[in-house]
Chain A
């Protein structure tokens, strides 16, 4: 009932008796509206911060991306043909749960001598998983038909993807490929890491 009190209304009897009566009434109405508004807003105000918690936690707090082992270098074809690998992170925190050694995504790795290029599996358009087509030797997104060359760049002008496949830092140490696995904001021309 109290919530409805926000609506200002005049009483049926609007005849002014005298000034003090009138100002008293005005005081009562203003107080009532204020008090009712406070009560009406209180429940939402008491917890609305929790809704914005994910925004607060991510803003400006981009954690350092850890290096993660992906595969032995010898498992990559020397002719530069890409292959798909799972990325398993040592520790992943999802709200209240901490997982150990869980797959968090996949990458295409392509070898060029001792250098390795890593592409995120997700299409930079809207996040579908991209396929490598061995016949045409390119990448193809089965959702909206974006195509990418082996260097990751968009090959077809009709492709809806605003940028090429997202690369990530790689290094080879003692015959093992390491990457810094990251996700990026979809559907913009710049490559911006998600945080």
Chain B
């Protein structure tokens, strides 16, 4: 071994290099406050290695980016863990950068003769943030897509060259293949190369000037190896453990539904950019994207000179504390505004639902070459929710919301449709109190109609007890997928109640030729009945002229036959939530 090392040393001078690297003098002894630089190097090293491993399965294009990340997350052996480590280490890096920066500021290590190295450090901060921003888009999910759209729109604010610059970065006017390939080249090529160059310069300058230590020295001088390295290593280990815990706790990095410009999503950047996001609520984009960064940048640039005086140094430290406090305050505001916004919460839930749904379909059916976004666009359940929200929810509700989970401010003006035609739904319908409440016909002219005033309200106690039986009969006609059908005998006996005991047949037909004055209940709640009803509720089989504002969606071409079928299937699919 020694002979080999001698040979190697003779040819490369390796011993000298190692010696120089390890026996750097640490004036005043090893200290915990010096660990941040090493932690950052460790974090970056992790990102390079895990990023390269991710690269082996990632495919940058609009039809394969989300799909390959889905593949990594759900199909590749240990892929979820790898993604998780890359994702959370990126966030740890931001935290470490802030810690490193504040330590340098407080210790005054940014002052002469270390100005140049301070600027390199600030440049490294910028490159790291750019790495985060570009990495965010690569999964091509809704979150990355919409959040990055905001960021690239800000580029256009740069005077004169903004719009051209934006086109170059985006690879055109619209987001697409070229956006991903460019962002990927930035994320995995240009930016890491820049970062490595800057880190080399940063470490070279750091070695040249040595560790900055405050006098009087706390302990006697020691060497980098092994005392400081042990402290650095333990700190890196702590970072590593934190990342592992986050990865295990959140089961890897999140993956939203595939990017879809036609599917709205509340754009929010990652937490460390939230302060900028919040700032843009108060200042014009030009200020947020150009003026403020420019002023701050200039101020930071001259800080090493300001720091020459005692007052200047204090100003510098105060400046960074204010900046951090401001960012923290804005971040807090952004979080609390979102938390108190019910619709934002619903939108996040909706995206979660879509993300789970698309993964479920992808696992069952596979992903077509056109990409996973087509799975959601074609999915009847997803479309059913959206059609209901767009066309039905202005009057009806579904479990109290608009079908997707968003609350609706106005009171409903038509019946709640979750569990429509189920036994529970009908039992409540046939109760006068419920019938005339907002949950059913309280918002319509029917609350004062014949059924309410002359039938339900007039039933005596004995008759009222029979009403749940009618509900069971009618619900059976609906043939709902989640309800068992009645036996022939039971149906016959219930028919007797419908015909004789309560004489419903006087107004409502079931399987008969006559035309009653109230809606025909033949096949009530079945797919065909609902489809016909939605096509034209004014048909004489249904409300006729008594129809109260329900549009004839099919007759007037407000919905296509396919859309009607989808929304009918969706309403019939499952019972109401308890």
Contacts and interface: CB of A to CB of B under 8 A. Distances in A.
Do they bind each other?
Answer: yes
Nearest to B75: A96
A65 interface: no
B230 A50 contact: no
A35 B49 CA distance: 18
A98 B367 CA distance: 5
Contact of B46 (A29, A43, A93): A43
B237 A38 contact: yes
B496 to A, nearest CB: 54
Contact of B71 (A2, A4, A96): A96
B272 to A, nearest CB: 22
A137 interface: no
B82 A100 contact: no
Interface string B360-379: 00000111110000000000
Nearest to A7: B18
Interface string A93-108: 1011111100000000
Given A9-B18, A98-B366, A2 B56 contact: no
A97 B23 contact: no
A134 interface: no
B366 A93 contact: yes
A97 B368 contact: yes
B79 A53 contact: yes
Contact of A39 (B79, B225, B240): B240
Interface in A74-115: 91, 93, 95-100
Interface stretch (B37-45, B263-271, B397-405, B550-558): B37-45
Contacts of B56: 50-51
Interface in B32-91: 38, 41-42, 45-46, 48-50, 53-54, 56-57, 64, 67-68, 70-72, 75-79, 81-82, 85
Contact of B42 (A29, A39, A98, A100): A39
A27 B297 CA distance: 46
A48 B57 CA distance: 12
A20 interface: no
Contacts of B227: 28
A11 B71 contact: no
Contact of A42 (B23, B41, B230, B240): B240
A99 B82 contact: no
Given A46-B50, A47-B82, A51-B53, A2 B70 contact: no
A53 B233 contact: no
Contacts of A145: none
Task: Give the interface centre of A4, A32, A93 by most chain B CB atoms within 10 Å.
Answer: A32
A44 interface: yes
A97 B367 contact: yes
Given A32-B230, A39-B233, A98-B366, A9 B22 contact: yes
A91 B224 CA distance: 60
Interface SS of chain A: helix, strand, loop or mixed?
Answer: helix
Given A97-B67, A98-B365, A50 B226 contact: no
Given A32-B233, A43-B45, A100-B368, A12 B77 contact: no
A71 interface: no
Nearest to A46: B85
Contacts of B78: 47-50, 53
A47 B53 contact: yes
Instruction: Bin the interface of chain A by size.
Output: 35 or more
Contact of A96 (B203, B234, B367): B367
Given A50-B53, A95-B71, A9 B79 contact: no
Contacts of B42: 2, 39
A1 B70 contact: no
Given A5-B226, A47-B78, A52-B77, A42 B233 contact: no
Contacts of B408: none
Contacts of A12: 23
A31 B229 CA distance: 10
B319 interface: no
A2 B49 contact: no
Contacts of A93: 366
A3 interface: yes
Contacts of B234: 35
Contacts of B226: 5, 28-29, 32
Nearest to A95: B71
Interface string A28-70: 1101100110110011101111111100110000000000000
Nearest to B368: A98
Contacts of B237: 35, 38-39
Nearest to B17: A4
Task: Give the interface centre of B71, B77, B237 by most chain A CB atoms within 10 Å.
Answer: B77
A97 B81 contact: no
B301 interface: no
Contacts of B38: 1-2
A133 B97 CA distance: 69
Contact of A43 (B21, B49, B68, B225): B49
Task: Give the interface centre of B72, B226, B227 by most chain A CB atoms within 10 Å.
Answer: B226
Contacts of B406: none
A3 B82 CA distance: 20
A95 B225 CA distance: 47
A53 B80 CA distance: 12
B19 interface: yes
B538 interface: no
B41 A46 contact: no
Task: Give the interface centre of B56, B76, B223 by most chain A CB atoms within 10 Å.
Answer: B76
A38 B365 CA distance: 41
A97 B64 contact: yes
Given A32-B230, A48-B78, A96-B75, 7 more contacts: A31-B230, A32-B225, A43-B48, A46-B81, A49-B81, A49-B82, A53-B77
25 contacts: A1-B229, A2-B41, A3-B45, A5-B233, A28-B227, A28-B230, A32-B226, A32-B233, A35-B230, A35-B236, A36-B229, A38-B237, A39-B233, A39-B240, A43-B50, A46-B81, A46-B82, A47-B82, A50-B77, A52-B77, A56-B77, A96-B68, A96-B70, A96-B71, A97-B67
Q: 8 closest A-B pairs (Cβ-Cβ)?
A: A98-B366, A49-B78, A47-B82, A35-B233, A43-B49, A96-B71, A47-B53, A43-B46
